[in-house]
Amino acid sequence: MRTLLFFGILVFGLHLNIWAQDHQHAAGHALTYPDIPGFITLKTDLHQHTVFSDGEVWPSIRVMEALRENLDAISLTEHLEYQPHKADIPHPDRNRSYQLAREEAKDHGLMIIPGSEITRNAPIGHSNALFTTDANLLLAEDPETPFAEAKKQNAFVFWNHPAWYRQSPSGNPVLSEFQSERIKNGELHGIEVINEHDYAEESFALALKHNLTIMGTSDIHGLIDWQYLEKGFHRPITLVFAKKRSLESMREALFAGNTAAVYNGLLVGKPQFINPLIKASVKINKATYIPNTDILEVELENISSSDLLFENEMNYNFYSSSPVFEIPANKTFTLKIKTLEKVSSVALKLKALGAYTAPKTHPVITWDVSVE
């Protein structure tokens, strides 16, 4: 019973903004990740759909979903060419979804990035262009124009779901000649290594080989609640390590490749970002010896929203815990280290089994622990 009007005259219609406030950090779903030295860590989902292409919700819902998960920025990347609802939403302005989301988000500190999905069959595939200034100009029959126009608009462009079996039946991504040329031309800058539920190691290898920015996205069409949250998951996100919390700074960071793709306990990225991210995610709260023993109790706190899985890489053994152990998201864990004699500091060295700095390569992180 949300509306009140006198035949066409709206009297009460401010419900969306009001309602959205209820959703800020709803129901314990808020994501948190720490900043890393030199950078602010921004939580983003830069590949999403609404009724303005083949999604099933109005842009307002995407804003509320993002507020509930405490994201910093989203992009509604409607398919430019694929418009299954065009019988009802005819010839829309391709910037329209962005405009509606920005209006909805303006009082909530959520940044909206204009963006679109350039949608072609293999071997060209799907690509997202972000920070476009006019998405309509990317519409064209030939495949080259959208990329050229995106470049003209200084857009950041990334390759979507390279391993998607509908476009690559082996699930193995193949960089086409067309795409190689786009990279060479400075028209393709990033690649999804996580899309929906799929982490593709081969896509990660391509990212490293061609120096493409590493992306993780939900590619949501329906509801975030149904696809992720009610199963106990969060959506995949891209952490963007930016100098400031601004659109411009985020764009620079994306072009510079300052990202990590994160999907629950899975963290994928270059070591210069993954390593400080994990290091910052685990705080050393205290370190004291158990009285009359050489066993050092170290209280670790995981301040991130990823469950972190570790394996001991020290020469010292643990008391109590297995060498493989998990610190759940936002929980503390007390590690007991048998230092054999009393020491004043110890280098806590752990392999992060849920993180990858290259395909099949886990980073080893070291924390300097000072004994109290």
- Binding to a copy of itself, residues 252-271 (CB under 8 A): 266
Q: What CA–CA distance (Å, rounded) separates 24 from 294? A: 47
Least distance to a copy of itself, CB of residue 364, Å: 15
Query: Which among 249, 246, 130, 123 is positioned nearest to 175, based on CA atoms?
Result: 123
Tokens matching residue 113: 């990035």
> Could you say whether residue 232 binds a copy of itself (CB under 8 A)?
no
Q: What CA–CA distance (Å, rounded) separates 76 from 91? A: 17
| The binder of a copy of itself chosen from 223, 256, 358, 364 (CB under 8 A) | 223
Amino acid at 284: I
- Secondary structure in 3-state letters for 180-244: HHHHHCCCCCEEEEEECCEECHHHHHHHHHCCCEEEEECCECCCHHHHCHHHCCCCCEEEEEECC
- The interface region with a copy of itself, picked from 149-157, 182-190, 277-285, 321-329 by CB under 8 A, is 321-329
| The binder of a copy of itself chosen from 34, 85, 314, 371 (CB under 8 A) | 85
> Could you say whether residue 119 binds a copy of itself (CB under 8 A)?
yes
In contact, 312 and 350? CB cutoff 8 Å: yes
Q: Which residue, 39 or 158, is less far from a copy of itself as judged by CB?
A: 158
| The binder of a copy of itself chosen from 256, 280, 353, 371 (CB under 8 A) | 353
> Could you say whether residue 344 binds a copy of itself (CB under 8 A)?
no
Query: Which among 225, 164, 173 is positioned nearest to 197, based on CA atoms?
Result: 164
Q: What CA–CA distance (Å, rounded) separates 201 from 207? A: 10
Least distance to a copy of itself, CB of residue 249, Å: 29
Q: Which residue, 39 or 356, is less far from a copy of itself as judged by CB?
A: 356
Q: Which residue, 102 or 161, is less far from a copy of itself as judged by CB?
A: 161
> Could you say whether residue 347 binds a copy of itself (CB under 8 A)?
no
- Binding to a copy of itself, residues 147-206 (CB under 8 A): 160-161, 163-167, 169-172, 195-202
> Could you say whether residue 321 binds a copy of itself (CB under 8 A)?
yes
Least distance to a copy of itself, CB of residue 102, Å: 15
- What does the DSSP 8-state code read for residue 314? S
